[in-house]
Amino acid sequence: SVQLEKESMMMKVDAVDANQDTMRQLPFALPCWLFCSLAALPEKVTQYFSGQVPSQERVVFFPTAAHQVNATHWNVPIHGWIFAPKLASKKRQALVTLAGNIVQQVSASSSSDAAFDRNNNPQQGEILSQRLYPFLADNKSYRRPKIVLDGQQQPIQVPRSLKNGHFRTNLVLDQAQLEGALVTTGTENAPQIISYRTLLNSNDNNNKEEELQQFRGTCHLIPPTGISIITDIDDTIKTTNHFDKKDLILNTFSREFQAIPGMQQVFTTCQRRLPQCCFHYVSASPYQLYTALTQFFQHDQHFPPATYHLKTIRPKDYQSLRELFADPLQYKRAHLLRLFQQYPQRQFYLVGDAGEKDPEVYALLHEQYPQQVMGIWIRRVGGDNSAVAKDDTNPKGATITMTDALQRMPGVPEEKIVVFDTGYDLMERLEETQSFAVAQQR
């Protein structure tokens, strides 16, 4: 017992000595921390007030929809995202590797024939990395880049970016300011588009040729009158297969995107035939997928140019991640209401799929704006053997008949509804509908 008491006393003395050592080191450690923070402060202050962004950071601008305020002025929304890709980060590379292992396991247990194998198919690994890295990027807050309209010299400074790296502002510009920024799309009956750029000064690069980084953005000048086509993305114009979660993961992150057959031809025909036809993509997909989506739709598949209205999420924020899985009815309805309110004289075709709540959302819009909704086009998803058809938790199912559509969209006249499988049969049915014939004559 005496020996135990001696050891106990020695342990107490060691603990006191350790605490004293820590307290003696703290005054030196604290100034070091303060010194590092203060050393970086001038650069951060300079970046905040001058709009400078370091060369290792990137800016992505999302296509927005401008509306006319009066005969001479437009309200031009600017929406962008500032982040550091940090592609060489070992932590991020490890996360991509881990995700690849998970995707490979999901693929092995999937009923699909297209298995994921990044070892024998490097292209699949490349796709996975490209899709995942935006989710792993380091979002940059307190950045205020300056933008310049094409044809103009005067820079415009946008509000600071938030924790998720996104910044938004609305500019009121007159016709003279917009004329020099107009982009020639070369597409008949397409809306006018203005282009702008940002020059980001880099103080950490001695190469003068690389001292200026330039990122570009566009805004669609939507006329007060005409036709707008508002469309969902997943399982409406691009194959996703929401109801098979394994397939959803693979289609989103590891496979080449696949367009719904015939939808590009439908939209191109609509743009050519309908007056002042504009397109708006309203989807629950996050903005992290924007680059992959626009590359696919505009460059690979040649869909008409469109504005994008996606979900803003911050992977590090749990509350933000919850928004990714929030009820699409409220989310989509809010975006659609904004478009209807900004363009009270325009008429709309609403395009979606039967798999989620597109019919219910569109029915609410029709109830509120019956004169503006020209038609609702709903795509069947899956078939009799699909997971959805066998899932008792989803009694509405992915397949849909006209009777089902009328039940899910009470108050919407049957002549305004078109149920379709592919773009090809959608086009055939549109040719038979009176509303589409009337729209072409406007």
pLDDT by residue for the chain (442 residues), tens only, comes to 544 454 455 555 454 454 555 445 545 555 655 555 566 566 666 666 655 667 789 999 999 999 999 999 999 999 999 999 887 778 778 887 787 777 777 777 666 656 666 666 677 788 888 999 999 999 999 888 889 999 888 889 899 999 999 999 999 999 989 988 998 776 777 889 999 998 755 454 444 444 456 799 999 999 999 999 999 999 999 999 988 888 888 899 988 999 999 999 999 999 999 999 999 999 999 999 999 999 999 999 999 999 999 999 888 776 766 666 667 778 899 999 999 999 999 999 999 999 889 999 999 999 999 999 999 999 998 643 333 333 443 444 457 888 899 999 999 999 999 999 999 999 999 998 877 877 776 6
Q: What pLDDT is attached to residue 45?
A: 65
Burial (CB count <10 Å: 0-12, 13-18, 19+), residue 162 = middle
Burial (Cβ within 10 Å: 0-12, 13-18, ≥19) of residue 409: buried
- In the DSSP assignment, the letter for residue 75 is E
Task: Return all residues near 66 (Cβ < 8 A) that are at least 6 apart.
Answer: 74, 75, 76, 77, 194, 219, 220, 221, 222
- Taking a C-beta distance cutoff of 8 angstroms, is the pair 239, 252 a contact? no
Tell me how far apart the 2 most distant CA atoms of the chain are, in Å: 104
pLDDT attached to residue 382: 66
**Residue 386: other Cβ atoms inside 10 A:** 18
Distance linking the first and last C-alpha atoms of the chain: 101
- Cα–Cα distance measured from residue 273 to residue 117, given in angstroms and rounded to the nearest whole number: 44
pLDDT for residue 102: 78
> Which residues have a Cβ under 8 Å from the Cβ of 89 and sit 6 or more positions away?
136
Q: Are 254 and 123 in contact (CB under 8 A)?
A: no
At 101 the three-state DSSP class reads helix
Please give the C-alpha separations between residue 203 and each of 38, 47, 147, 175, in angstroms, as whole numbers. 18, 10, 18, 36
250, 318, 291, 108 alpha-carbon torsion, rounded to 10°: -10
Q: How many Cβ atoms are within 10 Å of 62's Cβ, its own excluded?
A: 21
Residue 397 Ramachandran class (φ > 0 left, ψ -120 to 50 alpha, else beta): left
Structure letter (DSSP) for residue 76? E
Provide CB contacts within 8 A for 234, sequence distance 6+. 240, 242, 283, 284, 285, 353
Q: How far apart are CA 190 and CA 272, in angstroms?
A: 8
Instruction: Compute how many other C-beta atoms are within 10 angstroms of the C-beta atom of residue 276.
Output: 17
What does the pLDDT read at residue 427? 95
CA atoms of 231 and 224, how far apart (whole Å): 19
Q: Under the phi-then-psi rule, with left for phi > 0, alpha for psi from -120 to 50, and beta for the rest, what region is 165?
A: left
**Phi (first) and psi of residue 421, to 5 degrees:** -105, -45
Q: Provide the pairing of β-strand 64-68 with 212-221.
A: parallel
Q: Are 371 and 410 in contact (CB under 8 A)?
A: no
Instruction: Quote the tokens at residue 39.
Output: 């050393």
